[in-house]
Structure 1
Amino acid sequence: MTGEAFIAFLAEYWLSILSVFCLLVLSGFFSGSETALTAASRSRMHTLENNGEERAGIVNRLIERRDRLIGALLIGNNLVNILASSLTTSLLIGLFGDSGVAIATLAMTVLLVIFSEVLPKSWAIASPDRFAIAVAPLVRLFVAVVGPVSSLVNGIVRRLLNIFGINLASDMSMLSAHEELRGAVDLLHREGSVIKADRDRLGGVLDLGELEISDIMIHRTSMRAINADEPPETCVRDILESPFTRLPLWRGSTDNIIGVVHSKDLLRALAEPNVEPENLDIVKIAQKPWFVPDTTNLKDQLNAFLRRKLHLAIVVDEYGQVQGLVTLEDILEEIVGDIADEHDLDIQGVRQEADGSIVVDGSVPIRDLNRALDWSLPDEEATTVAGLVIHESKSIPEERQAFTFHGKRFIVMKRVKNRITKLRIRPAEEGAPPA
């Protein structure tokens, strides 16, 4: 075909060519809108809507019926793609004859892939929230028109899938809300948007419902308590020398907790006229003890602390035996990390050695170690590092025994009776078989 004939062809079919161009633009609009609206952050849209952005509210309402939205956009996209391909084929057949079919197929494939799929979707995924807000009003109008057809198509699809045993009616997420939040926080931490301390705090909040009091309580072997049978002046001295504000009071045996002494109550009592440590009745100033089961989860216990306006509870097992105590501060430390004040004792439970190994007291909680060193040792079956070694080895190890599991080499340094009191932990050697 000569140049003059080609110009004449363009003059005759300019409307059809313009129509193909407009259809390509519409196809790109549908593709980009689908990508942006499915990738848009629902939390971001919710925040923008609360701040008065009306188009964010449109996005939220469109996303609420995601199947109807995607169905309508796919119908629109396929309609314009088929129509553009048909027009182009008709035009090129008139220009090149039968070979115009092959040319039209090749040309439309290139144009649709580049300008109607890759380009708009790449643009949309680069800034999905902004793109979604921009196209939301137009998409809402289109969905309002094509929505009934989309619902009909979705109904047909569901019935066809039901034949093969696939049920789309149960719109249940594979992940819980907490798991989705945790995954988002971990991802943002890896990308550098969230620092480790913030990630740990957010993770601590999400973990409260999964942890029990027994996971964080101060065990009875480490519990500081006052013997009511001791002379009053001895009790007063022990309370004032203690770094703790509240101390359990027992009589006869440590299983018989009869109260909790608050240091402020003690000071008020000593400030009374004619009251001396020698004639003070400790039992009278003690508050009634509060006993809680060791299986209570931390979320419920935190709410109970706030509701009762108390800071300390005695932990008992299913037989009513005292297992230890838990404080409000213990639960808060699961969220914010260790809380130290000017009266706290400096307890060295973890020590970094010059060779890169870590020397750990057996009583150090696994969660504290993970948080301090950014490790991921499992804490489902054991609470302390010593408990983890016993659980994994299925025995009570001897001193100098070593075990390799979870990417670490655990060496028992000291054992007192059946209790592991000190361990050395270092990275497992490449190819070392687990002991």
Structure 2
Amino acid sequence: MELLIILFIAVIGISFLCSVLESVILSTNFSYISVLEQNNPIAGKLLKNLKTDIDSSIASILILNTIANTLGATAIGVQAQNVFNGDKTLVMFVSIVLTFAILFFAEIIPKTIGAVYWKQLAPFAARAIRFFVLLTYPIIKTTQFVTKKIKGNDNSDSISREELIHTTLLSEEEGVIGDLESDIIENTLTLNEIKIKDILTPRSVMYSVNKNTIIKDVLEDKRTYKFSRVPVYDESIDNIVGVVLTKKLFKQAIRDTNATMESIMKPLFALNENIPVGKALNKFIQKKEHMFLVLDNYDQTEGLITLEDCIETLLGLEIMDELDTTADMRRLALNKMKAKRKERASKEA
């Protein structure tokens, strides 16, 4: 009877452990592994290797679990017949008890524990699974060929942008991250889908001056004081040749108000209107600039884009400094167009 109980506990115990380990390794994600590598380098690296070679990890667990269930059940059946002298009713009762015990104590309960407490169990699971892999290595190599053929080129471990955005939204709903953090993550993932033509300041509301204009005349225009940078053109707005910082403009005005804008301007780099916001943001960082001219496919001036515009897109917020008087320059341009149409229509009437 003692041997029967020992076999019973051994089968349930091994199956319990295998189910917990399987649930933990499947629940663990690479983002958590990266964090674990910083806090526990040994366990993190080991878990990363096991997760990367998921076939070997799962195979070792399933092999031991199958051996425990199959051989264990057979041994328990034989021992039950010896203990109960071949009484079919009692042997059947032992089989039923074993079946339900395996179902609850070796499947449902351990897998639930592994799914809920996988973060706490991950370091232990890494070492245990590694031991299982070494123990069943010859069998794994035999079965690995078959599993690789079944898996093929499946990249199910990779996470799509849509899945990452959905995960972010779920984390926000559960209170794991805040609203602003969620918006930044979501906006970051869509930076390469938004073109700079969608966020630029249109040419119709651009304030720019001729390169031959003297500083005195520029200072008499009230619009000068609303912007930190003033684009400079030659003959027409479609030929922007540079930009002047208003701070530099004011400093030069102290020395010589008759100097031209051309004498104090700096180059203004241009970007095509179809460039993604993410790429434009990289250009701002590389060039160490705060403003770019935006051209269409025919090299005509489409508008201006600033570093502030890109950051607003990233944060999902409207940033206004002490010089800003209008929150949305694109809306201002649209309103101006509507006003011109009404004026034209009234004249025609």
* TM-score for both structures, normalised by structure 2: 0.87
The percentage of counterpart residues that share the same residue type is: 25
Change in CA separation of 1:195 and 1:257 when aligned onto 2, cut-off 3 Å: same
Q: How many Å separate the matches in 1 of 2:302 and 2:152?
A: 48
Cα contact 2:241–2:267 (8 A) shared by 1: yes
The equivalent position to 2:6 in structure 1, one of 13, 18, 36, is: 18
Match of 1:62 in 2: 50
**Aligned-pair distance for 1:93?**
3.4
AA matched with 2:103:
V
In proportion to residue count, which structure has more helix?
2
Aligned length: 337
Per-residue deviation, 1:62: 1.2
Conserved 8 A contact 2:272-2:295:
yes
Question: Judging changes above 3 Å, is the alpha-carbon distance between structure 1 residues 170 and 208 closer, same or farther for their aligned structure 2 residues?
Answer: same
Match of 2:144 in 1: 154
* 1:302 aligned to which of 268, 281, 285: 281
Conservation of the 8 A alpha-carbon contact between 2:30 and 2:48? yes
Opposite residue 138 of structure 1, the aligned amino acid is: A
TM-score (norm 1): 0.71
Alignment match, 1:266: 249
Q: Deviations over 1:209-257 (max 9, x none)?
A: 2222112111112322224466653322337743220121224332222
Segment drifting more, 221-230 vs 22-31: 221-230
Q: 1:320 to 1:196 in 2, by over 3 A?
A: same
- Residue 88 of structure 1: CA displacement? 2.5
1:338 and 1:415, CA in 2 relative to 1: closer, same or farther beyond 3 A? same
Correspondence for 2:103:
113
Which one-letter code corresponds to 2:100 in the other structure? V
In structure 1, what is the Cα distance between the partners aligned to 2:157 and 2:9? 42
Which stretches in structure 1 are left out of the alignment for 5+ residues?
1-9, 162-167, 350-360, 365-383, 387-413, 419-435
Q: Which structure would you say has the larger RCO, counting Cα contacts within 8 Å and 6 or more residues apart?
A: 2
Structure 2's unaligned 5+ residue stretches are: 343-349
* 1:314-325 map, 5 Å: 314-325=293-304
Matches of 1:340 and 1:363 in 2, distance apart? 15
State the partner residue of 2:321: 341
Q: Given residue 140 of structure 2, which amino acid in structure 1 is its aligned partner?
A: S
Deviation, 1:314, is: 0.8
Residues 179, 219 of structure 1: alpha-carbon distance in 2 compared, 3 angstrom cutoff: same
Residue 122 of structure 1 deviates from its aligned partner by: 1.1
Deviation at 1:44, TM superposition (A): 2.2
Which moves more between the two structures, 29-38 or 257-266?
257-266
Which stretch shifts more, 244-253 or 69-78? Answer: 244-253
Indicate the RMSD between aligned Cα atoms, in angstroms: 2.8
2:180 maps to which of 170, 173, 197? 197
- Which among 67, 77, 90 is matched to residue 79 of structure 1? 67
How far apart, in 2, do the equivalents of 1:146 and 1:308 lie? 57
CA distance in structure 1 between the partners assigned to 2:249 and 2:214 by the alignment:
15
Amino acid at match of 1:55: A
Q: Write the letter of the residue equivalent to 2:263.
A: K
Query: Partners of 2:179 and 2:261 in 1: how far apart?
Result: 45
Distance 1:135 1:309, change over 3 A: closer
In 1, the alpha carbon distance for the partners of 2:307 and 2:126 equals 48
Q: CA deviation at 1:18?
A: 0.4
Whole-Å Cα distance in 2 between the matches of residues 239 and 307 of structure 1?
A: 33
Query: 1:238 aligned to 2:226?
Result: no
Q: What is aligned with 2:345?
A: none
Tell me: CA distance 1:138–1:239, structure 2 relative to 1, closer, same or farther (3 Å). same
What SS does structure 2 have at the residue aligned with 1:205?
helix
Deviation (angstroms), 1:179 = 4.0
2:26 is the alignment partner of 1:43: no
Distance 1:341 1:212 in 2: 24
Deviation (angstroms), 1:146: 0.8
